[in-house]
Structure 1
Amino acid sequence: MKGIRAGLAVVFVALAALTGCATPQPPVAMDQAFWAEKQDRIGIAITEIPAPSVQMTGQQGLLDIAVNKGMASGLTKKVESWDSTSLRGLQQKVAERLQAQGYTVKLLDKPYDFKDFKKAERKLGYAELDMTPLKAQEGIDKVVLLMLGVNGTTRSYYGMIPTSDPVSLVTMVTTVVDLDDNRLIYFQPSAVSRAAEGEWDESPEYPNLTNAFYKALDEAEQKMLLPFDAQQLSSN
């Protein structure tokens, strides 16, 4: 349980860095008008997927960090060999779900970076960055932005003392923006954290922790696809 709490602590830091938000934006439920406006063209973008990494949280001095990194070098080597690039397929899978419901979609070719956008006037319920130029640039009315954050493992420490076991972690944000006014039609930051089933410290391969990571990846993908699944439309 401590490991999962440590993982969730990393989530908030990671998502703040990912979205550029100083003031947290609460989740925004899908605007039901989205499903009625089938005449609109929807762009689907995805950010670059960070390589898996080892995160260390908690109160640590510089010496503590150096020692902890040294002690975790074997795990770090293994985590850095993990592959999270399967999430690149999310863009196409979202497109297929929307096309099956009769929407016209456009895949935006490049992985989108927040540097591509200027800061907008900060208002809750609106995107932190001004994405409205995409309307003219890409010929779209709305954009689905799939944002992938920190992934790998996280572990908490007090100084040089671990206070949790490492757990797998995948963070992500799913956003839908109306490009007429930069309004958030949908906004959901989330994370998946999974502990190893059984002993985690089986170096050098760490099979149980590795298995937990790939299960977390699969669960993260399903979370990001869920808002666009056909069953979500049945009550509309």
Structure 2
Amino acid sequence: MTRYLPLIALFGALLGLTGCATPQPPVPLDQAFWTEKQDRIGVAYNDIPKPTVAMVGQQGLLDIAINQGLASGLRSKVETWDAQALERIPVEITGTLKEQGYQAVQLPKPLHLEALGEAKEKKLGYFAVDASPLKQRYQVDKLVLLSFSNAGTERSYYGMIPTSDPVSRIVVSTYVVDLDDNRLLYYKPIVVSRTAEGEWDESPEFPNLTNAFYQALDATHQELVAPFRNQQLSLSDQ
């Protein structure tokens, strides 16, 4: 059960974003993204999250206080991890699209969705945020958005009892939005997790868990760029 906790948390966050009774399911990349070569594509991302220690599971207030105290050494290390490499992903996506003959441009960073407001009509298959103002503002027809939610480690608990080892992870969703009508041309939420190879609890440096985090960063990079690397790869996923 604990291995599903990251996805449960992710879909819970998506439910809060969409405001729908049913969370938005993944949307395979629409062929229109590739065939409408006359359209300009804007590539953007939100704020890069600072790595942190996440504790999930059934915990009371006292449990949380004790668990946080016991994890203080790990937290001190995790907060030194550098997730800024995630900024290179939209740069690579923009370059990859240009190499294939598309008009792609990276939008000013970062893109704050809360400044755009909610979509007037919320329904499955459409972006929950009204992204249409970006069309006029940046002269783009489609938006590729990388929405990073969390980075760092996650560990599950039952009260004060850990029910898993800490796992390094990155949580991110990719959206492709048609700015004419806010329709989702692509949507994929992912949780990239890596476990420490060997003993994780080697304070104060936690080398194996730290290495797992940077492995997760690299895997995230590869997974996010892959759908845009070439048309054949993307269309085969449909």
Please indicate the TM-score interval, normalised by the length of the shorter structure: over 0.9
Offset at residue 133 of structure 1 (A): 1.0
Corresponding residue number in structure 2 for 1:146: 146
Gapped regions of structure 1 (runs ≥ 5)? none
Q: Deviations over 1:165-199 (max 9, x none)?
A: 11111000111000111100000011111111111
User: 5 Å matches for 1:147-166?
Assistant: 147-166=147-166
Offset at residue 114 of structure 1 (A): 1.6
TM-score, normalised on structure 2? 0.93
Alpha-carbon distance in structure 1 between the residues aligned to 2:188 and 2:229: 15
Alpha-carbon distance in structure 1 between the residues aligned to 2:195 and 2:7: 12
Offset at residue 14 of structure 1 (A): 4.7
TM-score, normalised on structure 1? 0.93
Q: Return closer, same or farther for 1:40/1:85 CA change in 2, 3 Å cut-off.
A: same
Does the Cα contact within 8 Å between 2:41 and 2:141 map onto a contact in 1? yes
Are 2:80 and 1:111 aligned?
no
Q: Deviations over 1:100-140 (max 9, x none)?
A: 11011121112011212121111110000110111111111
Which SS does the other structure have where 1:130 is aligned? coil
Corresponding residue number in structure 1 for 2:18: 21
Q: RMSD between aligned alpha carbons?
A: 1.8
Are 2:85 and 1:86 aligned?
yes
Does the Cα contact within 8 Å between 2:53 and 2:153 map onto a contact in 1? yes
Does the Cα contact within 8 Å between 1:167 and 1:193 map onto a contact in 2? yes
2:174 counterpart letter in structure 1: T
Alpha-carbon distance in structure 2 between the residues aligned to 1:48 and 1:234: 29
Gapped regions of structure 2 (runs ≥ 5)? none
Paired residue total: 233
Does the Cα contact within 8 Å between 1:154 and 1:168 map onto a contact in 2? yes
Q: Return closer, same or farther for 1:233/1:122 CA change in 2, 3 Å cut-off.
A: closer
Does the Cα contact within 8 Å between 1:44 and 1:143 map onto a contact in 2? yes
Corresponding residue number in structure 2 for 1:169: 169
1:191 counterpart letter in structure 2: V
